[in-house]
Structure 1
Amino acid sequence: MLNTRYLLLLLLIMGTSCYNPPRDCKAFKEGTFRFTAIIDGKEQTTTFERYNNQEIDYFEGKADTSSVRWINDCEYIVKKLRPRDAAEEKSIHMKILTTTDSSYTFEYGLVGSSNKSKGTAIKVN
């Protein structure tokens, strides 16, 4: 009887540890989004529009255009079309981790880097 309890508990733990939250990444391939992050201790909001293979970011009154290359439905590479310096020439790998009806949580970092950050984008329309 005691072994049966341990076996059931073990099966329950194994079953829940493999759980992957559902992702509907296709719903976020295009549209207008808002992303808020802490930059130099201040909360900053970026709005961006993503259509086809292009993304336009609006930050502090300036627009910046990037190309978007989808690796699969949940991962893509962003590269600025008109970088202003060497740092902006580097591509960024984006990976959608989870989705809701109106937002997605993602992980991002420079291509090839193990240093990743996380954020949440809210779909505006």
Structure 2
Amino acid sequence: MSQMKYLYLFILCLILTSCFDNIQRNCTDYKTGTFTSEITINNKLYKSHFTRTDSLQIETYNNKVDSSSVRWINDCEVVFKTINPKSRAERKDIHLKILTTTDSTYTFEYSYVGEELKQKGIAKKIE
């Protein structure tokens, strides 16, 4: 009888863990292209437009253009390094992780490398 309990427990665990595998992450679809992104910080919405190649990202935010080098850690995580930083904050690398994907968007979290505070946003591929 005790072996039967273990079998039922194993089957229950298997069923429960399979329910959590439904998150879609096709990160390679978003390594390059043209995108718009939206991030909400303290109830304020920030929008930007950017184009990413294998090694470069050019972003426009508030009529200001920034360029960053791109270094992929794996298919879903990337580090951006500002090419010509103009302030101390711009010298900090940014780590971005794609959390989920759809057919045209991805949800991400990002932070300065080495910092705990993470922000979340959504990017939409337009090309």
Q: Which bin holds the TM-score, normalised by the shorter protein?
A: 0.7 to 0.9
Cα distance between partner residues in 2 of 1:42 and 1:29: 27
Pairing 1:96-107 to 2, within 5 Å after superposition: 96-107=98-109
CA 1:15 to 1:63, structure 2 compared with 1: closer, same or farther past 3 Å?
same
Normalising by the residue count of structure 2, what TM-score does the alignment of the two structures yield?
A: 0.84
Instruction: Give the deviation of 1:104 after TM superposition.
Output: 0.5
SS at match of 1:57: strand
1:22 and 2:4 aligned: no
Deviations 1:10-31 (A, max 9, x none): 55324324x2512111110101
Pairing 1:53-72 to 2, within 5 Å after superposition: 53-72=55-74
Q: CA RMSD in A?
A: 2.4
User: Please, which runs of 5 or more residues in structure 1 have no aligned partner?
Assistant: none
SS at match of 2:98: strand
Amino acid at match of 1:16: C
Partner in structure 2 of residue 34 of structure 1: 36
Cα distance between partner residues in 2 of 1:14 and 1:59: 41
**Which shifted more, 21-30 or 32-41?**
32-41
The number of residues matched between the two structures is 124
- Identity among equivalent positions (%) equals 46
Partner in structure 1 of residue 15 of structure 2: 12
Cα distance between partner residues in 2 of 1:121 and 1:13: 31
**Which shifted more, 67-76 or 33-42?**
33-42
Instruction: Give the deviation of 1:116 after TM superposition.
Output: 1.2
Instruction: Give the deviation of 1:97 after TM superposition.
Output: 1.0
